[in-house]
Structure 1
Amino acid sequence: MFKMAEKRFGCASNEDIDEIIKQSKPHNTQRNRKYIWNQFEKFCQLRNYVLTAETPTKHIANILKDWSINMRKINGEEYKEYSLKTMWNVTAKIIQEKYFIEHQRDFNPFVDQEFNDARQARNAKRKILQNMLEKRKVSAVAFKSDEYEKMINNCQEKTPEGLQIKFYLIASLELAWRGGEAVKCLIHYFQEELDHNGKPTGRIAYNPVFSKTCQGGDQKLCDTKWLIPNQENPRRCPVRLYKLLLEKRTDKIKTDRFFITPNPFYQKSGIWYKNCPVGQNHLSIWTKMCARKSGLDINKHKVSNHSSRSTAVSNMLQVGIQEQEVLKNYWSCQRSITKTISANKRRTPFRYRPQIEKQHAYYVVIHIKYNK
């Protein structure tokens, strides 16, 4: 029986198991851990920090707090936001493992209250780097103004799908939609603004019900954003396209989804859309499809529906407007743009008006960008 058990089960020793675990770790992971720890050791030498078995946990937390704010590259430059997060987490993990294995001390820098200030310092530094255009993490490529203009111009609004895609490209930039926000967009999210006399002002309010995929924090509703009539370029006017889309919806369409399936036989029947929402998989490739048709290299950079929001945020960061302004209502953002124009004494015909703004914030940003 004992001999059968020996044949059935392996006989690897603890040393062999440790070697198997070591070999299974990716080479890049081991190299990155070694690089990060070397940088941390150099930092400790310059700060005269010494980690011993008797070092108090609070002092270790203060070292990590100092490290989170003052870590730099070899040339003295700031790390990117995502790199800072990774380096701090790896350093904290190595210290945790070191003290547990070598000194039999158990603490957790990611949970323990003693390390709360260190974690808060890491998060604060990440927010600072997120507001720096060249340091923030970009999950999707931001288009240049001429690239985005070309994508919009290639959309044929005289066709059902072309009309929807054209409105999507403009609205997703103006409203800074996240990647999956368009597919969940509903008709009742939009509402035409009326003045005190009940007459339309020309603006369209956008205010989605709060969900995990929509911005708004813990509020029940996110701040209202606005689609503004574009009198500078009526062909790109989101309000005109919005009203045209509503006109093309027949009484038979009962779904509340804003983007619905085009009717392939619309030329014969005159009915543009079916009573069926556009599929999530199909809508998720609209931006990539338009970029490919416009001749952009979609293999070189990551292009997705989130690229519209990335483009909007990048344009605002270039003129000193923080990303958090995107989450606020349009007028807060517009006032910030106006202050930026005044502070830098740039000549521009776009001025803030308390009633109806005639141009989009996007055009103001582009005007500032190319008229320095």
Structure 2
Amino acid sequence: MAGAMEDEMFLQALEIYEASQRSAEQEEILVQPQTISDDGHFTQLNLCDRFVNVTEEDILAKIKGAVPRTTKRSTEWAVSVWRKWRDSKRLASDSEYPPELDFITNEEVNRWLAQFVFEVRTLKGEEYSGESLYGLCSGIQHYIREKRSDRNDEPIDIYKDPYLAHFRSSFNAVLKDLHSRGIGTVKKQASVITKDVENQLWLQNILGDDTPSKLLNTLVYCLGVNLALRSGHEHRSLRPDMFQLVELPDGRRYLEYIEWGSKNNAGGLRDRKNCNKSVKIFPNVENPQRCVIRLYQKYLSLRPENAPSDALYLQPLHKPRPECWYQSKAVGHNSLTATVKKIIDQLGISGYYTNHSLRRTCVTRLYQSGAEEYEIMKVSGHCSKDGVRAYKEMCLKQEEKISKKLQLVSEKDEEEEPVFKKPCVFQSQSQKPTQPVYNFSNCTVSFTNN
């Protein structure tokens, strides 16, 4: 008993001592900033060199630079459509017409945005789909928010604010009407690359590593499928620093990819608790020619010594050398965006194939293989199950199986072919045979030539 009390007193004293030491260290750091020199000794840190000075313009530029590129484009498109609609209303009559968005009030948003969704049309004079209308309204909202933020005015949420109920009722009515008439019901999505299509790409030597361009395209394809990448911008943002070849104690190895930022995890305030996406690619021992690790290592070995560190994909040399196939100039995102279409076009098959096909292919293959949703989300980087479910797609064989189940077609009937054709059905009495008809099954028939 006494020993236990002594141990407890000792632990309490130790905690008090460690706490006092931490306080002393923190106080010393605050009073006398220090840094470690190359020889391992502490040197005085100049406070003027420790911090940087930024202007208000620098801060605003950084804020605007943090807006995703797709958001900027959709906002510009939405504002442009609004202004053209506004001009048409202004020229059509001398009565009231919509205001500019820069200083629009909540009451004006409620009134005019409701009228906008009813009247807006495409350049061809056709109705927009529901998804396009939603994109227009969201782009307009983003523009209004930016302008109000610059003036420190109250924000706006057109989908939740109670004083915008008239707009939401109007928008809801338009969406239901479009849906009832079949406008926008078929969504154009990137096609999934099937196993047969991928095999043909390899067998026809469209994918491979025997030329600089082919190796580059193959790496874009393989990394896109294995890492669930979507756009040319995501491929353009890849850097060699994001990849690490790890060797395990038992001799096995894998290529690890750690994402620095993406659409699903931009690293902002809302993403601060999210972990960076990490994917491990293991060797393809069954088919070494298609091994991603081998292709990646070969590609790295053929990059120039002065290769830029901020780009993985480099432009091929016009005259490649045995030890170097690529320039020190990065491939642009537009070229990377066209990679999948360029590859699939060589097969001459139909379908809507884009770089987004790589991401859809990744998720669909995992889904069809029976992977759990959390496993798929780890590879795809989705933060919600709803997001990853939108990428799931049944293959034609699965849909055929479901259709046959609904029609009560048994698996046995699917697999077994009849030995003989069904008896003929005669239409008239004169067509009936005069001799009796016999049906035989499981018989052995022998023919003898005399």
Q: Counterparts of 1:172-321 in structure 2 under 5 Å?
A: 172-179=224-231, 180-195=233-248, 197=249, 201-212=252-263, 218-219=271-272, 221-267=275-321, 270-297=323-350, 301-321=351-371
* Alignment check: 8 A CA contact 2:304 2:328 kept: no
Q: Distance in 2 between matches of 1:285 and 1:186?
A: 20
For the residue of structure 2 that corresponds to 1:146, the secondary structure is: helix
Q: Secondary structure of the residue that 1:264 maps to in structure 2?
A: strand
Give the whole-Å Cα distance in 2 for the aligned partners of 1:232 and 1:16. 68
1:252 partner SS: coil
Contact 1:229 1:237 in 2 (8 A): yes
Match in the other structure for 2:221: 169
Aligned pairs for 1:121-136 (under 5 A) are none
1:231-283 superposed Cα distances (whole Å, 9 cap, x missing partner): 1111110011111112112323243411111111114x742111111111111
Q: Matches of 2:287 and 2:236 in 1, distance apart?
A: 27
CA RMSD of aligned residues (A): 4.7
Alpha-carbon distance in 1 for matches of 2:289, 2:242: 23
Which whole-Å deviations, capped at 9, do the CAs of 1:274-324 have from their partners, x for residues lacking one? 111111111111100001111122xxx332111111111222333454666
State the match for 2:161 in structure 1. 112
Question: Whole-Å Cα distance in 2 between the matches of residues 215 and 249 of structure 1?
Answer: 29
CA distance in 2, matches of 1:210, 1:10: 46
Q: CA separation of 1:136/1:222 partners in 2, compared to 1, >3 Å: closer, same or farther? A: farther
Question: Is contact 2:340–2:353 with CA below 8 Å preserved after alignment?
Answer: yes
Deviations 1:173-200 (A, max 9, x none): 11111213111110011011233x5x76
Structure 1 residue 150 and structure 2 residue 200: aligned? yes
TM-aligned CA deviation for residue 12 of structure 1: 4.0
TM-score by length of 1: 0.51
Percent sequence identity is 24
Query: The residue matched to 1:158 in structure 2 has which SS?
Result: coil
Q: State the one-letter code of the partner of 1:142.
A: V
* Cα 1:28/1:281, change in 2 over 3 Å: closer
Alignment match, 2:211:
159
Query: 2:191, 2:357 within 8 Å by CA — same for their partners in 1?
Result: yes
Aligned residue identity for 1:112: D
Gap change, CA 1:213 and 1:187, over 3 Å in 2: farther
Count of paired positions: 236
* Structure 2 Cα separation of the partners of residues 287 and 319 of structure 1: 23
> Structure 2: how far apart are the matches of 1:16 and 1:243?
62
Tell me how far 1:28 sits from its aligned partner.
Answer: 5.6
Structure 1: give runs of 5+ residues left out of the alignment. Answer: 1-8, 34-81, 90-107, 123-134, 331-364
Structure 1 pair 323/305, CA: closer, same or farther in 2 (3 Å)? farther
Higher RCO, Cα 8 Å, sep 6+ = 1
Report the TM-score, using the length of structure 2 for normalisation.
Answer: 0.43
Match of 2:207, SS?
Answer: coil
SS at match of 2:354: coil
Contact 1:140–1:307 (CA under 8 A) maintained in structure 2: yes
The 2-side partners of 1:302 and 1:323 are apart by 26
Specify the alignment match of 1:45 in structure 2. none
CA distance in 1, matches of 2:92, 2:340: 56
Whether the aligned pair in 2 keeps the contact of 1:254 and 1:275 (CA below 8 Å) is: yes
AA in 2 matched with 1:172: G
The residue type paired with residue 294 of structure 2 is: R
Are the aligned partners of 2:302 and 2:323 in contact in 1 as well (CA < 8 Å)?
no
- Over 3 Å counting, the alpha-carbon distance change for 1:191 and 1:138 in structure 2 is farther
Change (3 A) 1:239 1:113: farther
- Matched position secondary structure for 1:139: coil
How many Å separate the matches in 2 of 1:14 and 1:189? 59
Structure 1 residues 317 and 156: alpha-carbon distance in aligned structure 2, compared to 1, 3 A threshold = closer
Please tell me whether Structure 1 or Structure 2 has the larger radius of gyration of its CA atoms: 2
**Which letter does structure 2 place at the counterpart of 1:232?**
E
CA 1:316–1:215: 2 relative to 1, 3 Å: farther
8 Å CA contact 1:174, 1:312 repeated in 2:
yes
Equivalences for residues 31-42 of structure 1 within 5 A: none
1:32-63: per-residue Cα shift (whole Å, max 9, x none)?
Answer: 89xxxxxxxxxxxxxxxxxxxxxxxxxxxxxx
- Return the offset for 1:136: 11
Q: How far, CA to CA, are the matches of 2:222 and 2:190 in structure 1?
A: 17
Give me the whole-angstrom Cα distance separating, in 2, the residues matched to 1:185 and 1:16: 48
Q: Is the 8 A contact 1:313 1:323 kept in 2?
A: no
Asked if the contact 1:190–1:204 (Cα under 8 Å) also holds between the matched residues in 2, the reply is yes
Q: Does 1:139 align with 2:189?
A: yes
Structure 1 residue 162, shift from structure 2 partner: 0.9
